[in-house]
Chain A
Amino acid sequence: MSSVFTKSTARNIFYGGSLFFFLVFLGLTMDTLEKLPERDHRENITPEVVLGKKVWEDNNCIGCHTLLGEGAYFAPELGNVYKRFGGSKEAIIAFIKSRPAEGIPGRRSMPQFNLTDEELEGMAEFLKWSSEINTSNWPPNIQG
């Protein structure tokens, strides 16, 4: 680097550039926050959905599954599981309830979480609501 380009020039680019792009990022974040309601359908976040998200977190579901593509890659994507299960909350609830406590020999198995009926209903509602978020057509197909 030539002597014309000094350390203080580099420093100014760092502070100026970082600040500028952080402000742009803040501006875009504000714009996103304004546009989100029509994409996340927050009007449908019922107390059941809220409970479901809490159950999701309290049982660390993200430690095996992905949700909208984020999480662990050990178990299926659940952002669209409501649709994959044919739009049936009952199927989701039945699946979670029927996991064997001791697992399945030789295979990956979901733990038995012993959820209450209320928690199961919340979880199913949460997954249903999640499947209705506008994710720009992701995932590419129903398999997630």
Chain B
Amino acid sequence: MKYQSQSVAKLYFIAAIALFVAQILFGLIMGLQYVMGDFLFPEIPFNVARMVHTNTLIVWLLFGFMGSAYYLIPEEAETELYSPKLAVILFWVFLGAAGATVAAYLLVNYSTLAHITGNDLLPTMGREFLEQPTITKIGIVVVALGFLFNVGMTVLKGRKTTINLVLMLGLTLLAVFFLFSFYNPENLVLDKMFWWWVVHLWVEGVWELILGALLAFVLIKVTGVDREIIEKWLYVIIAMALITGILGTGHHFYFIGTPEYWQTIGSIFSAMEPIPFFMMTLFAFNMVNRRRRDHPNKAAVLWALGTGVMAFLGAGVWGFLHTLAPVNFYTHGTQITAAHGHMAFYGAYVMIVITMISYTMPLMRGRAAANSPAAQVMEMWSFWLMTVSMVFITLFLTAAGIVQVWLQRYSDAPQSFMVVQEQLEIFYWMREGAGVIFLIGLIVYIMSFFVKGEEASA
């Protein structure tokens, strides 16, 4: 750590991990509700558990991105953060808003919450992933603006590297596209269409800029490969991400009322969306193979390589699996979508945030370069436990999805939704089992922060 102000990232990372735990606990609750329908009913109905599961995911990833930026941007700009104090204030504002929102989900009836938070004045609630009360959304915008101002001023007064510019661009566009969450027309088709301007243009668009910049930063640090080479890779990857991803939005416009030409455009461009992810895999492995030093933080290298592989599998391969319009006609809105969603979010965004945490935390905690070998071994155990269990969660959901499509959509005598669901129980049980292993992996991950011992050296 070169600059004192970078350490503000630590707060953000701790909050991220805490919310990660909440996300997984509620994931397990939902998983159980899939097989024991009355579990926690009516205290925590499925929709409430799901809101907590998905919203804590999004918020902890945002904490992770912001923490990463607060660490990375001063280091790249070679100057102290513009205002560490503002970063701390915004942290508590964001944590307060996130905590209050989750508490409200759990304690207040959703329609009551909608009513008391003024959803009648400016209705934005009750749409997937955008369930937050309108005032929480406004809070997110305020925090994002303060954050962008803070890191933006830091970049302006310091060195302007490619990584900083790409990260700033990604974070700024993240904030810009979030503004579409305030647009909720009465016409469902329009609503859905512009809802994707937030959701798709985030995760299959500008978030990939953030992902690429963070991965490039860590790879420069742990491999010592020339910056010029890494930055060139970064530009090529993000170029492919947006060239395929923007029109790739079309793969959401097949069956929601939008014209049929989207089936052609969406199929062609989204079929190419795996390319940038495959390049990320090549990028990570190439840079590590060409490394000029053996960085003592082996765990961070493992997470970086893992991000490359799992992002390609989850976002790339599992995305491609159901992205072509004739396939999607049968798979749209089934467990296949859930399978893809799980591995894509884990492989791309969860893992890149953990990569950043893994690289930066030892430095922020006063180590010269890395944690003790014992701590790293435990962290690497958590890597394999979480990653392998996520692979199995994905495989079980994929199996469930294939059977579901067969029985409910493809067969000559299609069966009703609930009749089919009962026949999928075995897959849901296995998914829940894999989920428990994931939780164990997460606990091991947290424990790794408390393992002491002599620092590792190269």
The CA-CA distance from A73 to B238 in the complex, in Å, is 32
Smallest CB separation, A131 vs chain B (Å): 11
A96 in contact (CB, < 8 A): no
Q: Which residues of B contact A58 (CB under 8 A)?
A: 110-111, 114-115, 119, 125-126
Q: Which residues of B contact A61 (CB under 8 A)?
A: 47, 126
Q: Is the CB of B333 within 8 A of A14?
A: no
Q: Tell me which residues from 15 to 41 in chain B have a Cβ below 8 Å from any Cβ of chain A.
A: 30, 33-34, 36-38, 41
Q: Which residues of A contact B232 (CB under 8 A)?
A: 1, 5-7, 10
Q: Is the CB of A10 within 8 A of B47?
A: no
Q: Is the CB of B51 within 8 A of A7?
A: no
Q: Looking across the interface, which residue of chain B has its beta carbon closest to that of A84?
A: B416
Q: Looking across the interface, which residue of chain A has its beta carbon closest to that of B401?
A: A73
Q: Is the CB of B257 within 8 A of A134?
A: yes
A54 in contact (CB, < 8 A): yes
- Please encode chain B, from 110 to 136, with 1 for each CB lying within 8 Å of some chain A CB and 0 for all others: 110011000100010111100100000
A133 in contact (CB, < 8 A): yes
The CA-CA distance from A113 to B338 in the complex, in Å, is 27
B387 in contact (CB, < 8 A): no
The CA-CA distance from A29 to B231 in the complex, in Å, is 33
The CA-CA distance from A101 to B282 in the complex, in Å, is 54
Q: Is the CB of B265 within 8 A of A57?
A: no
Contact A66:B38 (CB < 8 A) given known A13-B239, A59-B110: no
Q: Which residues of A contact B255 (CB under 8 A)?
A: 68-69, 135-136, 138-139
A53 in contact (CB, < 8 A): yes
B172 in contact (CB, < 8 A): no
B243 in contact (CB, < 8 A): yes
Q: Is the CB of B257 within 8 A of A39?
A: yes
Q: Is the CB of B37 within 8 A of A107?
A: yes
Of B126, B231, B233, chain A has the most CB atoms within 10 Å of the CB of B126
Q: Tell me which residues from 1 to 48 in chain A have a Cβ below 8 Å from any Cβ of chain B.
A: 1, 5-7, 10-11, 13-14, 17-18, 21-22, 24-25, 28-29, 31-33, 35-36, 39-40, 42, 45
The stretch from B74-82, B138-146, B182-190, B360-368 touching chain A is: B182-190
The CA-CA distance from A45 to B236 in the complex, in Å, is 46
- B contacts, CB < 8 Å to A: 30, 33-34, 36-38, 41-42, 45-48, 50-51, 110-111, 114-115, 119, 123, 125-128, 131, 162, 184, 186-193, 228-229, 231-233, 235-236, 238-239, 242-243, 246-247, 249-250, 252-263, 265, 329-330, 332-335, 337-338, 408-410, 414-418, 421
- 8 closest Cβ pairs, A-B complex: A63-B47, A57-B126, A69-B333, A108-B37, A10-B235, A138-B255, A14-B239, A76-B417
